[in-house]
Amino acid sequence: MRRIVAAMSGGVDSSVAAAMLAEEARDTGVEVIGVWMRTHADLGEGYELKRSCCSPDALDDARRVAQLLDIPFFVLNLEREFGLHVIDAFADAYLAGATPNPCQACNQYIKFDELLRRGLAAYGADAVATGHYARLEHDGGRWRLLRAADANKDQTYFLWVLSQEQLSHTRFPLGELTKPEVRDRAEALALPTARKPESQEICFVPLGDYRTLLEERRGYAGEPGAIVDADGMRVGTHSGYAHYTVGQRHGLGVALGEAVYVREVRPERNEVVIGSRDEVAASTFVADARSFIAGQPPAERFDASVRIRHRAPDVACEVTLIGHDRFAVETAEPVWAPAPGQAAVLYDGNECLGGGRIARA
Amino acid sequence: MAADRIYLDHAATTPLRPEVLDAMLPYLTEHHGNPSSLHAAGRRARRGIDEAREAVAAMIGAQPREIVFTAGGTEADNLAIKGFAWAASANGRHIVTSAVEHKAVLNACAVMERSGFAVTYVGVDRYGRVDPADIAAAMGEHTTLVSVMAANNEVGTLQPVAEIGRICRERRVAFHTDAIQAAGQLPLDVDALSATLLSLSAHKLNGPKGVGALFVRRGTALLPQLQGGSQERQRRAGTEDVAGIAGFGRAASLVDLDEVPQLIELRDRLIDALTGLPGVELTGHPTERLPNSASFVIEGIEGGDLVAALDLEGIEASTGSACTSGSTEPSHVLLAMGIDPLLAHGSLRMTLGRDTTPEQIDRTITVTRDVIGRLRSAMAPRPVAASA
């Protein structure tokens, strides 16, 4: 290997990942190239996301870290691609009554596609390293994706969609570390990003207000419609179906004496269906757009554990393949609100097998 | 390492010549006085500025008293546009400029628009050239100022400034030209250009950064843009950057237009080789262009990727103006020339300097060809603009 691209967001994780590679480079001679991806335009003054990886502050931080590590640093302009594959897809998911998964889309189409492909060509590198918490093992001629040593930080939930080809050009330097260890390393190296707070919000949605984005991006202003219960009885009025996601509790304006949650969003009828806690849980669901890390599924029917949202607990399940790109999941115990559009990620112990996108019932 | 590198970004900035550094150092060390002070130390510093003023004035056929030193080319442009437009505002509030000016001029004009002035942005042809007839047609009875650059910083195209200047003189309208890229490469004479105002920058001609000058023709009223002391004949307040100005003066006196034919030969060698590659087009005028400037659009690649890849191969180029490189929008210059926005993303600018060698150009040709091929293969799934 001659060169490796370190994707740098300006956050502490990718800063430390780049620093670890730069340290290694002293022995291996592999040149490290820092790259910051511009994924969307600045949102303008007073609209700036302090913690977003795309703010001018983040660019300054990433550049400063690259200077301290004494590595070349470039800005890769991926605004068009991010707009198409991440932001538009995010809006379209809501319009289809689903819950978008932008971090996965960013990994799938931006970091491990555009950055990988263009970065490798432009910089003559052989691999891309990111600050994800995940581990890779090369074993028996194939790459295995394993959960991070820090179970709290594990990000395989957003990485299940990667292919063997992508993984063969990928490095996750932080996989064996815990978050506190990463912060300690950042402190020890006196990186300016050492004490940066965790980014939580979606980087391109100012203040979590995705309704404005739906309007600006897709002209969706929201038309009031019916909130109905399981029997189809109208129990309230919503501001537009795309403003609701499965599992949502707040903002329904419905008082039925017990806590109610969004159970289903029906774009065709501009309807939001609610239910009790028990009604929103499910033991069976179907996922489409399936993908397996190994390139093919382990079997037509197999036991695994499934995770249906980031940081949700894993639940034991049986997986049955359906057709060419779907699978059915039957869980040992009900899972809370499987939301169409979110990933159902399958594991065998610590190994991420792959997954699919939860489909509408 | 640095010795092996090939620097082809002289339009962004040029290396400081050793003679220029020698001229500057005394003013950073023993001659520490404030040029406005009456004592010997002050008088010594004043002498540095006066000598530099003569040298800069001589470069453009001006009188020393017509030179106002500024903290760079951008300030000179701002002082010209805002300072003149306000001073002449009793006679009219209309400015004529071109669509391909540097952002220093365009954004200064935008500020004037917000202050109630009207600005006409005259378009250009596909080579980036302004037609003087279009300038004449845009001028009205309220026009007080025309501003057209001598040479474009992105695509190198020379503007017919002598003719534009003549039209302005006949109509008794002030003419400003941003000659920042042209200085050092083209003969500049403020009378031949009929210029009322002319902007210069030291670091484009092997001088230091942060120093510029505005030529202000005798008798031209100007509203200062900085309020303070009476330096620079009350046109630019603030204690002078004596060392920087001394460096500017030395750099101006070292300009040697006899070096230009060699630049043109190397430039054309580069242009001929790269435009021979499929999907590579020259931008700007084929002959009426700056001696050191080669600029292209390349189908199917992102200019930023190409510049990064070249950098890792030891070649320092740019996508266009360094002053707009933080932006992801395609260049306003290329768009004004009618180049497809998608194609405009594949811009490359290589600008030569007095130290550029034939060997460097040959290596640049080989490496650029290889890198374009490598990038195209990686970008293949992306849409490619229709060939212009």
Please state which of the ranges A4-13, B138-147, B317-326 shows the lowest mean pLDDT. B317-326
Over residues A293-351, the pLDDT tens digits come to 999 999 999 999 999 998 889 999 999 999 999 999 999 999 999 999 999 999 999 99
Residue of A nearest to B300 (CA): A118
Of B38, B36, B11, nearest to B263 by C-alpha is: B11
User: Do residues B238 and B263 both lie within one domain?
Assistant: no
Orientation of helix A116-123 relative to helix B303-312, angle to 10° = 40
User: Do residues B104 and B187 both lie within one domain?
Assistant: yes
* Stretch A152-175: mean pLDDT: 96
- CATH of residue A231's domain is 2.30.30.280
Chain-chain contact of A122 with B378 (C-beta, under 8 angstroms): yes
User: Do residues A256 and A271 both lie within one domain?
Assistant: yes
Q: Which chain B residues are closer than 8 Å to A121 by Cβ?
A: 305, 309, 374-375, 377-379
Q: At A54, is the pLDDT very low, low, confident or very high (cuts 50, 70, 90)?
A: low
Handedness of CA B222, B227, B232, B234 (dihedral sign): positive
Which of B230, B254, B278 corresponds to the end of one domain?
Answer: B254
Q: Which domain holds residue A201?
A: 3-207
User: Do residues A113 and A35 both lie within one domain?
Assistant: yes
Please state which of the ranges A43-57, A79-93, B301-315, B354-368 shows the lowest mean pLDDT. A43-57
Q: Give A3→chain B minimum CA distance, Å.
A: 10
| pLDDT the model gives residue B245 | 98
Strands A315-322 and A326-336: antiparallel
User: Do residues B110 and B54 both lie within one domain?
Assistant: yes
User: Do residues B28 and B103 both lie within one domain?
Assistant: yes
* Stretch A152-158: mean pLDDT: 94
Catalytic residue set of A:
106, 203
Over residues B26-83, the pLDDT tens digits come to 999 999 999 999 999 999 999 999 999 999 999 999 999 999 999 999 999 999 999 9
Q: At A253, is the pLDDT very low, low, confident or very high (cuts 50, 70, 90)?
A: confident
Q: What is the DSSP string of A309-352?
A: STTPPPEEEEEEEETTTEEEEEEEEEEE---TTSEEEEEETTEE
Please state which of the ranges A229-233, B135-139, B377-381 shows the lowest mean pLDDT. B377-381
pLDDT at B351 over 90: yes
Over residues B320-331, the pLDDT tens digits come to 866 555 456 789
Q: At B380, is the pLDDT very low, low, confident or very high (cuts 50, 70, 90)?
A: low
| pLDDT the model gives residue A47 | 43
Q: Most A CBs within 10 Å: which of B312, B327, B374, as the mutation test of the A interface?
A: B312
| A79 in reach of chain B (CB within 8 A) | yes
Number of domains composing chain B? 2
For residue A166 the two structure tokens come to 């992508």
pLDDT at B138 over 90: yes
Q: Which chain B residues are closer than 8 Å to A122 by Cβ?
A: 305-306, 308-309, 374-375, 378
| pLDDT the model gives residue A49 | 46
Q: What is the rounded distance in angstroms from the CA atom of residue A9 to the CA atom of residue B130?
A: 43
Mean pLDDT, chain B, whole residue set: 94
A182 found inside a domain: yes
User: Do residues B263 and B162 both lie within one domain?
Assistant: no
User: Do residues B83 and B8 both lie within one domain?
Assistant: no
Q: Which chain B residues are closer than 8 Å to A120 by Cβ?
A: 378
Q: Give A128→chain B minimum CA distance, Å.
A: 15
pLDDT at A19 over 90: yes
User: Do residues A160 and A100 both lie within one domain?
Assistant: yes
- CATH of residue A350's domain is 2.40.30.10
B384 found inside a domain: no
- Residues contacting residue A280 through CB under 8 Å, at least 6 positions apart: A246, A247, A261, A262, A263, A336, A337
Q: Most A CBs within 10 Å: which of B1, B5, B301, B302, as the mutation test of the A interface?
A: B302
Q: At A205, is the pLDDT very low, low, confident or very high (cuts 50, 70, 90)?
A: confident
- Judge whether B139 and B146 are in contact, CB under 8 Å: yes
Chain-chain contact of A122 with B308 (C-beta, under 8 angstroms): yes
| pLDDT the model gives residue B329 | 74
B305 vs A3, A41, A118: nearest CB: A118
* Stretch B244-248: mean pLDDT: 98
Q: At A1, is the pLDDT very low, low, confident or very high (cuts 50, 70, 90)?
A: low
Annotated catalytic, B323? Answer: yes
Q: At A55, is the pLDDT very low, low, confident or very high (cuts 50, 70, 90)?
A: low
Q: Which chain B residues are closer than 8 Å to A33 by Cβ?
A: 312
For residue A255 the two structure tokens come to 């008082």
Residue of A nearest to B327 (CA): A41
- CATH of residue B72's domain is 3.40.640.10
pLDDT at B382 over 70: no
Choosing from B186, B323, B335, B342, the catalytic residue is: B323
User: Do residues B200 and B232 both lie within one domain?
Assistant: yes
- Residues contacting residue B185 through CB under 8 Å, at least 6 positions apart: B151, B257, B260, B263, B290, B291, B292
User: Do residues B250 and B362 both lie within one domain?
Assistant: no
| A72 in reach of chain B (CB within 8 A) | yes
- CATH of residue B370's domain is 3.90.1150.10
Which of B208, B225, B254 corresponds to the end of one domain?
Answer: B254
User: Do residues B246 and B293 both lie within one domain?
Assistant: no
- Residues contacting residue A249 through CB under 8 Å, at least 6 positions apart: A259, A260, A261, A262
Chain-chain contact of A122 with B328 (C-beta, under 8 angstroms): no
User: Do residues B303 and B361 both lie within one domain?
Assistant: yes
User: Do residues A41 and A167 both lie within one domain?
Assistant: yes
- Judge whether A90 and A214 are in contact, CB under 8 Å: no
pLDDT at A249 over 90: no
- Judge whether B60 and B189 are in contact, CB under 8 Å: yes
Q: At A153, is the pLDDT very low, low, confident or very high (cuts 50, 70, 90)?
A: very high
Which of B234, B254, B274 corresponds to the end of one domain?
Answer: B254
Number of domains composing chain A? 3
Q: What is the rounded distance in angstroms from the CA atom of residue A347 to the CA atom of residue A354?
A: 7
User: Do residues B9 and B35 both lie within one domain?
Assistant: no
pLDDT at A255 over 90: no
The rounded Cα B331 to chain-centroid distance in angstroms is: 15
| A122 in reach of chain B (CB within 8 A) | yes
User: Do residues B114 and B220 both lie within one domain?
Assistant: yes
Residue type, A199: S
* Stretch A47-69: mean pLDDT: 74
| A70 in reach of chain B (CB within 8 A) | no
Q: Which domain holds residue B244?
A: 18-254
For chain B, list residues whose CB is within 8 angstroms of any CB belonging to chain A: 302, 304-306, 308-309, 311-312, 328, 374-375, 377-379
User: Do residues A87 and A144 both lie within one domain?
Assistant: yes
pLDDT at B113 over 50: yes
Q: What is the rounded distance in angstroms from the CA atom of residue A186 to the CA atom of residue B6?
A: 35
pLDDT at B238 over 50: yes
Q: Give B305→chain A minimum CA distance, Å.
A: 6
Q: At B302, is the pLDDT very low, low, confident or very high (cuts 50, 70, 90)?
A: confident
Chain-chain contact of A123 with B374 (C-beta, under 8 angstroms): no
- CATH of residue A129's domain is 3.40.50.620
Chain-chain contact of A121 with B304 (C-beta, under 8 angstroms): no
Mean pLDDT, chain A, whole residue set: 91
Q: Give A82→chain B minimum CA distance, Å.
A: 13
A203 found inside a domain: yes
Q: What is the rounded distance in angstroms from the CA atom of residue B344 to the CA atom of residue B331?
A: 7
Q: Which chain B residues are closer than 8 Å to A76 by Cβ?
A: 304-305, 308
- Judge whether A347 and A316 are in contact, CB under 8 Å: no
Q: Give B57→chain A minimum CA distance, Å.
A: 40
- Cα angle A9-A169-A71, degrees, rounded to a multiple of 5: 45
pLDDT at A290 over 70: yes
- Judge whether B39 and B263 are in contact, CB under 8 Å: no
